[in-house]
Chain A
Amino acid sequence: MDFVNAIILLLNYIFIPALTYGSQLALGAIFVTLIYGILRFANFATGDMMSFGTMATILFTWYFQSLGVSLGVLPTALLAIPFGIIFMIFYMLLIDKFVFKYYRNQKSPPVQFAMVSIGVMFVTQAVVRIIIGPGDRRFFDGEKFIIKAREFKEMTGLNEGLALKSTQVITIFVTIVLVSLLFWFLNRTKTGKSMKAYSDNEDLALLSGIDPKKIVLVTWVIAGILATIGGALYGLDKSFKPFTYFNNMLPIFAAAIVGGIGNPFGAFLGGYVIAFSEILLTYAYKKFFMYVLPESMEPNSLVQLLSTDYKFAVSFSILVIVLIYRPSGIFKGKVL
């Protein structure tokens, strides 16, 4: 019985939260990796672009709520996401037209692109804060829990409860669907394949008649979808605050690089690597050992490898280690 309790404990406090957080990071990381692979620059505006998409989703959610439209047990935001995506894609294409296109035509070095993306970061941040303000926003409605911890305890008679939030299930489900669709698109359709070719060898791709304008357009569209959904899922699960989104850029970068930047599948796995290591290393295992070990060997301390304050530091350290020993990432990068 103790053993089952220990498993449930780990499931409840490590596995499910890490899987959710990892999915959110994974979507962001694929976004970074796509931009890096095809448009060839590190996009420092990642976090703020995600917050822009989320903001659009929130605005539509409020609009639907004011109309009285709802999805019952599901959050209204799910209905608003497609509209948010359209808004977001429009914004991204606008930025591309007025900012990035010029440097692409100039064939500027990646560093210059990165600098420009910082300008975009400032502007996007300002726009988001001016429109919706810097405060904390919760826009979740509908049923909060699928399984409540207390119900689970009563149901199974175990000591440990397993809480399953609906946002966690939605996040994981949406991520799986979206990522499978994306990989199907990249591997099976003609446009997806030409994107791969373009990422692999630009000159060769152009010679074989691939239209760069179309590739760039499709990339921004996919990026907009990923950024909005990733951001909205994070906001549903936790809450929306522009500053948090800006900070999330850092673990997202870490995930993209750990997975091998330019490689979407690597980025997808990288998100989970980062999320699991953050949570595994900062979780206090005292209770777990109390269940598993005999009473005489019970630990006195919290058995916590690092305090939770260092959550971000964990992912950054992983990134630094990967950068030093395997700069191309765990899965070789730069092959879309």
Chain B
Amino acid sequence: MRKNLNVIAAYSIMMVLILMVGIFQSWNIALSIFNLCLISAVMTMGANIQWGYAGLINFGIMGYTALGGLAAVLISVDPVQEAWRAGGFDILMSLWLIVVMVLVIRFILKRFEKSKIRTYSIAAIIISGILLIRFSAEPGIEAIEAVDPAKTGFLGGFGLPIIFSWIVGALFAGGLAFIVGKVALGLRADYLAIATLLISEIVIAIIKHEDWLTRGVKNVIGLKRPAPYEVDLQTTDWFIKLVEKFNAGKLTVIENLADRQAALNQLVIEGSSVFVKLCYSGLFLVVVIILLILTQKALYSPWGRMMRAIRDNEEAANAMGKNVVKQHLLIFILGSAIVGIAGAMLVTQDGLFTPGSYRPMRYTFLIWVMVIVGGSGNNFGAILGGFVVWFLWIEAAPISLFLINFFTAGIPETNALKAHLIESVPYFRFLLMGLGLLFIMRYRPKGILPEKIEIK
């Protein structure tokens, strides 16, 4: 118990902070912060597996998040029959061509010795294959994008419940990580960072511009929900009764019957959105707890010890007969898959998929700040990092507004400097994040909750 005192204290403080937001601002805001904290926690767990367990640096988190989001779209949206009829055949043909191309390349790689001719012929196959696919798929893509472009203009998905996408998102992200890992994992740490960053940008470029698959920057809105809709709740009897029960004290004070009904209606509207958010919180909490148990188990298993050995001394681990390359690839896939789950969760919660919103600042570097601040190598630390950093990211603007007003209290409102500062309040969050990261790196390089390995 005493050993974990700092963990318990840190989490209690965090919970109190969120509760304070609930009491002083509103429960709606508190819950949406809490939900995104949970999603961030899943992302940090993914990054932490790669960085904390294995020392692999992955700056491509944004790409895996977006792939998870894409999975949510492809799973939950109903298929657009007309688009399939218009261009489905061409798309399937191109897919088949890609498979053939990969098989041919594999065959060449297996069959022939490494030589210049082999390299050039593979390059030629790839280039001519890409050109062939481009020209063969073009009419199909145009036909699909022409199908009611204001509403669909893409192939749609499978029309399944969106919850499944959390698993499929993990598979997508894992698949991408397999390719990236095969290609880039041999690189030195800082090269790997740059390569993964750039590959994630390529992924985003594809998601943004392949409209037939993702609708691109036209966004996909109105995704199905795993939780009830607010509008339905507001007309459901049991829910209204529940709200009445909760607010009995408040309502009985109001004498006038009409006024009381109006107040109740208002409360039901507020309550419904809180209730929906609570549903999401429940779902996300389940995911976080399952992942936490799994990652904790893995950390203390022989596999976890091997990973740490590889991280701390690659050559020694290699000499002990551990397959470093294979383990690196495995952990790269696992971590990315977890990030993919988070990406799907995020889109599920928002109910919309906006490829334009994936930016490295928010989805890669912020996650890294979370991992470093929380404590890499320690799952509780990483999750805490997700909570703390996301909380500050959201609350930075109100806090800095308060501080500016506090320090410039004597200056009149019309002062140009004060007006300028108040106008640029949203950017103080970057300052806060940067300074936070720098201070933690300098004075507590292992994070708020440092890695602690107990040998049992």
Contact = CB atoms under 8 A, between A and B. Distances in A.
Given A250-B197, A313-B205, A317-B202, A126 B57 contact: no
B189 A111 contact: yes
A129 B437 contact: no
Contacts of B423: 133
Given A102-B442, A123-B434, A129-B424, A118 B199 contact: no
**Chain B contact residues: helix, strand, loop or mixed:** helix
Given A110-B189, A123-B434, A253-B198, A129 B205 contact: no
Contacts of B445: 112
Contacts of A316: 198-199, 201-202
A118 B187 CA distance: 20
B229 interface: no
A257 B424 contact: no
**Chain A contact residues: helix, strand, loop or mixed:** helix
A52 interface: no
Interface residues of A, number: 46
Given A123-B435, A125-B430, A246-B361, A118 B369 contact: yes
Interface residues of B, number: 45
A116 B372 CA distance: 10
A122 B365 contact: yes
Given A122-B430, A122-B433, A250-B201, A115 B206 contact: no
Nearest to B199: A320
Interface string B343-356: 00000000000000
Interface stretch (A142-150, A159-167, A304-312): A304-312
Contacts of B104: none
A290 to B, nearest CB: 19
A86 interface: no
A250 B428 CA distance: 24
A99 B438 contact: yes
Interface string A317-334: 101100111010000000
A120 interface: yes
Instruction: Count chain B CB atoms within 10 A of each CB in A109, A323, A324 and give the residue with the most.
Output: A323
B29 interface: no
B190 interface: yes
A119 B428 CA distance: 14
A122 B437 contact: yes
B328 interface: no
B183 A320 contact: yes
B191 interface: yes
B428 A126 contact: yes
Contacts of A110: 189-190
A52 B430 CA distance: 15
Contacts of B138: 301
Interface in A240-255: 246, 250, 253-254
Contacts of A305: 131
A122 B428 contact: no
A252 B76 CA distance: 39
A120 B195 CA distance: 21
B191 to A, nearest CB: 6
B437 A126 contact: no
Given A115-B372, A122-B433, A123-B434, A323 B209 contact: no
Contacts of A120: 434, 438
Interface in B347-377: 361, 365, 368-369, 372
A250 B438 contact: no
A320 B198 contact: yes
26 contacts: A44-B365, A111-B57, A111-B193, A114-B57, A114-B189, A114-B190, A115-B437, A115-B441, A116-B441, A118-B369, A118-B437, A119-B435, A119-B441, A122-B437, A123-B431, A123-B438, A124-B434, A253-B194, A253-B197, A309-B209, A313-B206, A316-B199, A320-B198, A323-B187, A323-B195, A325-B119
Given A111-B193, A313-B205, 8 more contacts: A116-B437, A124-B434, A126-B427, A130-B428, A134-B427, A254-B198, A319-B198, A325-B119
- Ranked nearest first, the 4 interchain pairs of A and B with the lowest CB-CB distance are A122-B434, A123-B434, A126-B431, A126-B430
